[in-house]
Amino acid sequence: MTNGNRQRNQSPILKVIAAIIIIIGLATGIFTYDDIVQYLNSSGTNTESVQAPENVTGTLEVAMIDVGQADSFLISQDGHYALIDFGTVSTGKDVVSYLQEKGITNLDFVIGTHPHDDHMGGMEKVLGEIETSRVIIPNVKSSLVTANWYISLRKELKKSKYEVIYPKLGDTFTLGEATLKVIGPVDYSGSNINNYSIVIKLTYGTQDIIFTGDAEAEIEKQILDSGELIDAEVLKVGHHGSDTSNTEEWIDAISPDYALISCKLGNKYNHPIKSTMNTLKSRKIIVYRTDESGTVVMTITQDNISFDKKPGDYLSGEELEKRSSKWFATFLFVVTQKTG
C-alpha cells in the first residue's frame, strides 16, 4: 500500500534546526500551526505506482450503509476491510452496529472524504469501537471547520496509535486485490469544504467504482480536464444527488451502468434533485438508493456486478416522500376501515 504523505526520517541535527525554525516562526507569527502541519504532511512523500491486478478470482463486496442523510460505504475483499465515510455524529453508532453484526473488528484503513458531519461526524465513534491504525483524510485547515465534533476528532487523531495520511493526487491504496486511487481534487484551497472531498476510483478486476464524497461541479471539471481515465461501471452519485454536483459532462465521461445514492427519505434538501434523476434516467443508468431500499450490498467479481436489492425509482427526493406519504395514508385508511 502506498501511504500518501508522510514525514521522512531526519538526522538529529536537522531535527534541532527544524525545531528552532518552528519555534521562531510561531513566535513571530510568520506561520501558524496549520501551516506547520501542512508542511510536515506534504514533505518526504513516499509513493509508488501500484498496478491493479487485471485478473481476480474472488469477490469484492461494497455495502452502502443506510445512515440517513449521510454517507458510509464498507468495502470488503478477502478478509480485508476499509470504510469510506462514517455517517453523522448521531448515526455513527449504526455504522458500528453494522460492522459488528458482520463480525468485523479491524479495518485495514478508513477514508473520511471531507470534514462535514454527514461524512465524518461518526468517525470518532467508529474509531472508538473498531480497531484501525491508518486514517486517510483531506488536509483542511482547522480554521475552516470549527464544529465541536471535529475538534474532538482532531484530538483523537493526534494519538500515536494512528497514522494519519493526507493523500495527494494519484496516491494509491490496496485492499486485498482491490486498488483505490485518489483522482481528485486536482487542486483546491478555497473555503467550500465539499470541494476538499477525496475522490476515489476503486478498481477490482475489470470493474471500477467512482466515490465522490460531496465534490461539486468545479472539482468534477478539474478531474475531467486532467485527462484522468474515469470511465467506471458504478458511480456514487455526488452530494447525495444534489444539483451542485453531477453535471452531464461528468456522468457522460464516467458512463456508469449503476448509480448509488445515499440519502434520507424526506430530507429537507429534497435530495436527490429532480434534474439529477432525469440525467440518470435519460441515460438508462440503474439506480440504487438508501431512501428507498435501506442498506444496499453490491457484489463484484472479475466481470460481473450484482445487488441484493431491486433497482430504485427515478423519483426526486420530494416525489418519493409524497408517494410514501400517500401510501401510508392509504394504509391507515384501510386499517381504520377494517377495525372501525
What is the DSSP code string of 240-280?
GG-TTS--HHHHHHH--SEEEE---TT-TT-SSPHHHHHHH
Q: Is the peptide bond before 53 cis (omega within 30 degrees of 0)?
A: no
Set of cell numbers at residue 117: 458531519
| Nearest partner of 225 among 217, 235, 236, judged by Cα | 217
Is pLDDT larger for residue 45 or for residue 315?
Answer: 315
pLDDT digits (tens, 9 = 90+) for 173-203: 999 999 999 999 999 999 999 999 999 999 9
Amino acid, res. 16:
V
Q: Exposed (0-12), middle (13-18) or buried (19+): which is 14, by Cβ within 10 Å?
A: exposed
| Nearest partner of 280 among 294, 260, 309, 306, judged by Cα | 260
Of all residues in the chain, what percent are helix, strand and coil, respectively (each to 5)?
Answer: 35, 20, 45
Residue ranges of domains in the chain, CATH in brackets: 1-48 (no CATH), 49-339 (3.60.15.10)
pLDDT digits (tens, 9 = 90+) for 117-153: 999 999 999 999 999 999 999 999 999 999 999 999 9
Give this prediction's pTM.
Answer: 0.84
The residue written with cell numbers 480485508 in the block is 80
Confidence of residue 66 (pLDDT cuts 50, 70, 90): very high
